[in-house]
Structure 1
Amino acid sequence: MTSRRNVLLGAGGAVVLTAAGGGAGYAIANTDGSNPGTTPPQAVPPKYRSRPDLSALPDVTITTPATGTTPGCVFLSPASGTSLWGPLMVDEKGSPVWFRKVPDPATVAIDFKAQQYLNKPVLTWWEGTIGGTGGQGVGQGEFVIADSAYREITRVRASGSEQADQHDFVITPEGTALFWVYNPIPYDLTSLGGPADGVLHDGVIQEIDIRTGKRLFEWHASEHVGLDESYAPLPTGDSAHLPYDYFHANSVGLDTDGNIIISSRHTWTAYKINRTSGDVIWRIGGKKSDFAVDERAAFAWQHDFRRRRDGTYSVFDNGAGVTTVHEQSRGLVFKVDERAKTVIFAQEFLHPQKLLAPTQGSFRELPDGGSFIGWGQMPWFTEYAPDGTVRLDGHIPLNNQSYRAYKAAWTGTPLDQPALGVRTEAGSVIITASWNGATTVTTWRARGGTQPGALNQSVEAPRTGFETELTLPGTPEYVAVDALDPTGKVLGTSSAVPVRV
């Protein structure tokens, strides 16, 4: 019986799949020619023939197609028991642009985003393991910084014996990094009805010089925020000696005056902190607010406190957590009058499906004045025009979640080769081409011939997503693909792959 061979090249290697003449099943052939066996007839080819290692990536569904959006890619960190774990970038149609699997021994990637380091665009994310008390995630890991070629520049670790928490990582204009450490400390909890030999999760800010690793600033919540500010219940019973997560810090950043602004989920409070002395300058919300907060501007169990370009502040108001306070989560914008000591509602951004996210979430301003929300535990992401109109909406699989979701412009130029998959069908060679991380490819060209250096037959097709399919008539001995930019310039070329062994 005549057989057909499918050659899959990806990530620097080749995998040869041999399909029986009837196409009923797939046999995996070793590169030395031996055959370890045939898969069951119901086996199906991988989702990405050029990169079968990425076929378990979760599908991204666009429910509101992009209309009038700001240019950019969507940054996600999907998490579920059935998908690959790692930072994922997709385009506005939901097609993957770049993915990197989390390496062992880390188990998850969190907070994937684009930033600037030393005036150059970089990608950053956190890698590590997550545990916690009462379902609240506490991370132990480190931060990764990669350049536009996806090369790892450095890893940022906490100073001392602690490990960095996943909740935030901000690179400052000075080349330093701000992030959180969850530090369990011995603490007498009898005043709250807990044990005298209890444990407290202290929220610790560290500012680290990225180049040298030197710690420049450290702030401890336990020295400035009392346990009486918390809305979180004390662990009881068999859990009484687990750390009490009274504060649960989940964002850190810089205000326009250079001081630090943070969000504490379990005190329902946003704080401004003197970057030199560590003194709390003010509190917004919670039990000890320094401001009278307009009822419509009140938030609870919140995430992602930021300053916006027009001087307002924003927060992702979960409205739910240990308790449910609001009917739905929202992106909240409010004005702060420091002289009058008032906080006034400015605008809110709601999801058409009235999503309520008990955990996680993000809310960021876009360059054109629009806004982008990642709905955390609810696996949606939404882009809004400045007036609140939805101009893009989508979600990862409903059994997934992404701690945050962002949108940003990104140009990636990977250093590896494009990948291709090959199969024969009806007297032609079907070629699938992809290049993980390449953002400027607009056209693919497939070439075929009798020798690797004589690929004179060619065909072109517009890029159609992560993987593009091209058809070469006949059965050339070797094939390769070229990635082309809008001017027709060759950005990268794959290895020449034999069609028949």
Structure 2
Amino acid sequence: MDVSYTLAISFGIVCILSPPASALDAKRFVVEGAVGPYGDGQYEYIHPRADAVHVSELTSIAVREGDEVISGNLADLFDVTGEKSGHVTGRVVLARDNKTVIFYADQPFAQREKVSVKFGPGLRVRRPTKVWDRRSEHASREAFELNSTYQAVARHSPGHGYELDSHSIFFDDGNTILAALTKIDDVIHNVVQVLDADRNVILEWRTTEDFVGKADPVLLDLRENPPDYYHINNAQRTPDGNLIVSLYGCGLVVLLSGKSGQILWRLGGKTSDFTFVGDDMDPPFFGQHDAHQLFNGNIIMYDNGRHVKHGSPRPSRVLELQLDLDQMTATKVWSFSHPSGLRSKCCGGLQMIDNGRGQPATMLIGWGYTGPFFTEVTYEDNPRIVREFEGLRGHRPLLHPWEGSSTEAPRLLLCSDANGKASTRNGSIDQLEDWTIHFSFNGVTGISKWRLYVGNDRDVPLDKPLLGRDKTAFEEIITLQELVDALAAENFTVTPRSDTSSANLYVRVVPVKGDDDLLRPSKALKVPMTLSSYDEPRRAGTLSPPAMVVPCGCYQPDIGRREHLHRPKPGAESAVVDMAAVNECAELCNASDTCETFFFFEDNGECELDGTRYKKRRGLHSLQGVISGRKNCLEDTR
């Protein structure tokens, strides 16, 4: 292939250029396979586009002809010159799709310079082939991909130096589809990227290039700084290989070519290509989430019915539209609103559930900010609720088969305030029924019951359980009264400490999966007890709670700082969970003039005092074996 052309690119902050009149007058629906998307029809995809502005200084330069490239000497294909940078050196790679040739400059381009790019000749291709693979770019803000044990196996972030938009990440036949953010002239703009396994951006679409002049779909006059006019909340692959993008801020859904990134159509908002039929809502949807395409070609979405910053709310609903691409109409064919008429200004989503075996499909709906967590309804003309889960709320519901396990041990905690009724006397809570032991195995599925074991030292024998308990909830609870009653029923002999006025019991639990599959046992939980009326010959006495308070409402188990993820673990970890030691760490924080948050590490008993308050848990991360809490919580409970 012997073709060359020149591409002019403006880097840095410059004025936004209006598109030519021909671009505004042209029909926005582009038939896939049509020639001429970039002038001569020779190339399927070029990034950045000709005369692009506001391009990241860290951008790569990509060209894709559309067929498989015969790898060879690709280094001489690009001749790149900047007004300020002069001749730009770099490396040329072939992306994992074997189609996209990408130039990476050795140094960032200069601010406010125009760059000329000449490409070719010498690109050789093979027809036809399609090859895709996985992974993505690494940057400071990342999405973590977890396996079935909840361990991070990959990290995903946008290319070209953009910031990850955490609303949307999809795995796509080995590639990754990400949304990203960039701020230009004090306005937040959005980016959609498809990345391959070698972190190459093989397709990119930016609002800065298509949302200009009359083609700008902005509806709101947002007073926030910087204004977030467009606000992508969903970007994913369609069944026919294109990309569908939901823009919450402008009540707009767009379909992008999966090959070139060009807009094929716009649905909704003030720049819609479609006339809406069969629906009396005006606008037909607004503030929508989770817009995607069904296998029959219909578009379905969660229509919030309002924007969080604007407009009177109307009942939120699921809306399904049938598109006629000849007449350019969008006809409502199905919708569902909650019988309560709930209105959700933020978040939400849906999933079509294939129930198999000839059973009719159902629709799983998450109502977002308002809740309930999800509602499942029949997918028919007069939908009825099949089941509903209240008490929580989430951004988007998903129902999939899942079998989770863990590389960690089950969690145990001892609390003196869990039932909310206990009263403190002389700095302690003295009723056994007010003290509770809590145990759970976070993320592990299939647990049917628990076995509880007790010993006089940390080496609790696991040969005979003291108690059995069917699993009824995420977290199981027993009171110290139940524990003491079970000890008496089994004639368990308590070994006192040297002063015979106290004794330490140690509790471990083992989860049971199915009928008899014993999973990993927990660490031993130290339960300090007060011992009175001790009879030495009979080795018997009366057990009562310890002379202290353990306010579990003050503590965040398994929550640490993100930096703690890389903290080296000691060679020999402590086998004991000691809540008294956690209390001591909390007291140190209370006594400190600079401490706002404390972190207690169970593996070695270390107490870390931190001067940050961590509002809304920002900067914190789920991390087994770390217990955190805030300053003065102990004082507040006394």
| TM-score, scaled to structure 1 | 0.62
What pairs up with 1:331-346 in 2 under 5 angstroms? 331-346=318-333
Which residue of the partner structure matches residue 136 of structure 1? none
Larger strand percent:
1
Name the structure 2 match of 1:168: 168
Verify the 8 A CA contact 1:484 1:492 in the aligned structure 2.
no
Shift, 1:353, TM fit: 1.8
Q: What is the match of residue 434 of structure 1? A: 440
Match of 1:185 in 2: 184
Output the CA distance in 2 between the equivalents of 1:325 and 1:271.
25
Q: Which moved more, 1:432-441 or 1:476-485?
A: 476-485
Cα-to-partner distance string for 1:219-251 (whole Å, 9 max, x where unaligned): 112212335443433456xx7xx4443322221
Instruction: State the partner residue of 2:351.
Output: 364
Is residue 478–residue 498 contact of structure 1 (8 Å, CA) maintained in 2? yes
Q: Say which is worse superposed, 348-357 or 140-149, in terms of deviation.
A: 140-149
Partner of 1:407: 399
Are the equivalent residues in 1 in contact too, given 2:230–2:250 (CA < 8 A)?
yes
Larger deviation: 363-372 or 328-337?
Answer: 363-372
Contact 1:141 1:166 in 2 (8 A): no
Q: 1:362 to 1:430 in 2, by over 3 A?
A: closer
Alignment of 1:80-159 (within 5 A): 141-159=141-159
- Which residue number in structure 1 is paired with residue 335 of structure 2? 348
Q: Determine the C-alpha separation between the residues in 2 that align with 1:301 and 1:412.
A: 34
Q: Normalized per residue, which structure has more helix?
A: 2
Counterpart position of 1:473: 487
Go from structure 1 to structure 2 and tell me whether the alpha carbon gap of 1:375 and 1:411 turns closer, same or farther (over 3 Å shift): same
Counterpart Cα distance in 2 of 1:263 and 1:433: 42
Counterpart in 2 of 1:273?
Answer: 256
What's 2:387 paired with? 392
1:383 lines up with 2:382 in the alignment: no
Aligned to 1:12: none
Q: 1:243 to 1:453 in 2, by over 3 A?
A: closer
Alpha-carbon offset, residue 160 of structure 1:
2.6
Letter paired with 1:152: A
Matched residue SS, 1:266: helix
The answer to whether the 8 A contact 2:276-2:331 is kept is yes
- Paired amino acid for 2:252: T
Residue 221 of structure 1 is matched in structure 2 by 207
Equivalent of 2:452 in 443, 446, 455: 446
The AA in structure 2 aligned to 1:463 is: K
User: How big is the shift at 1:349?
Assistant: 1.6
After superposition, the C-alpha distances for 1:423-445 in whole angstroms (9 at most, x for unaligned) are: 89879x97543111111111101
**Conserved 8 A contact 2:288-2:302:** yes
Is 1:460 aligned with 2:443? no
2:380 is aligned with 1:374: no
Q: Where in structure 1 are there 5+ consecutive unaligned residues?
A: 1-116, 120-127, 129-139, 187-198
Q: 1 or 2 for the larger relative contact order (CA 8 Å, sep ≥6)? A: 1
- Could you say if the C-alpha distance between residues 454 and 279 of structure 1 is closer, same or farther in structure 2, counting changes exceeding 3 Å? closer
Letter in 2 for 1:473: L
1:483 aligns with 2:514: no
Give distance in 1, aligned partners of 2:439 and 2:167.
36
Residue type of the alignment partner of 2:199: G
Larger radius of gyration: 2
SS at match of 1:287: helix
- CA distance in 2 between partners of 1:316 and 1:227 (Å): 29
Partner Cα separation in structure 1 for residue 287 and residue 274 of structure 2 = 18
Listed one character per residue, the Cα deviations across residues 193-242 of structure 1 (whole Å, up to 9, x for unaligned) are xxxxxx33222111222x43222211112212335443433456xx7xx4
Q: In the aligned structure 2, how far is the partner of 1:276 from the partner of 1:323?
A: 35
In structure 1, C-alpha distance between the alignment counterparts of 2:264 and 2:159, rounded to whole Å: 25
Aligned to 1:252: 235
User: Structure 2 vs 1, CA of residues 359 and 498 (structure 1 numbering), >3 Å: closer, same or farther?
Assistant: closer
SS at match of 1:282: strand
Go from structure 1 to structure 2 and tell me whether the alpha carbon gap of 1:287 and 1:450 turns closer, same or farther (over 3 Å shift).
closer
CA contact (8 A) 1:449 1:456 kept: no
The separation in 2 between residues aligned to 1:320 and 1:426, in whole angstroms, is: 52
Deviations 1:317-348 (A, max 9, x none): 11112443662111111212223422111111
Deviation of 1:158 (Å): 1.6
2:190 — aligned with what? 203
Query: What residue in structure 2 maps to residue 19 of structure 1?
Result: none
1:308 equivalent in alignment to 2:294: yes
**Partner Cα distance (1:396, 1:273) in 2:** 38
Q: Does 1:329 align with 2:316?
A: yes
Structure 2 gap segments, 5+ residues each: 1-131, 356-360, 416-429, 495-504, 530-638
3-state SS of the aligned residue for 1:442?
A: strand
Task: Determine the C-alpha separation between the residues in 2 that align with 1:277 and 1:160.
Answer: 18
- After superposition, give the CA deviation of every residue in 1:252-275 in whole Å (9 maximum; x if it has no partner): 111111111111223322111112
Instruction: Please state how far the C-alpha of 1:313 moved relative to its aligned partner.
Output: 1.8
Code of the residue aligned with 1:184 in structure 2: it is K
- Mapped contact 2:251–2:286 kept (Cα < 8 A): yes
Contact 1:230 1:266 in 2 (8 A): no
1:462 is displaced (CA, Å) by: 0.7
Point out the more displaced range, 286-295 or 255-264. 286-295
Question: Aligned partner of 1:378: which letter?
Answer: T
Q: Which amino acid aligns with 2:385?
A: V
The 1:205/1:118 distance shift into structure 2, 3 A limit, reads closer
Counting aligned pairs with the same residue, the percent is: 24
Q: CA deviation at 1:419?
A: 2.2
Q: TM-score, normalised by structure 2?
A: 0.49
For 2:189 and 2:461, how far apart are their aligned partners in 1? Answer: 66
Give the deviation of 1:295 after TM superposition.
Answer: 4.3
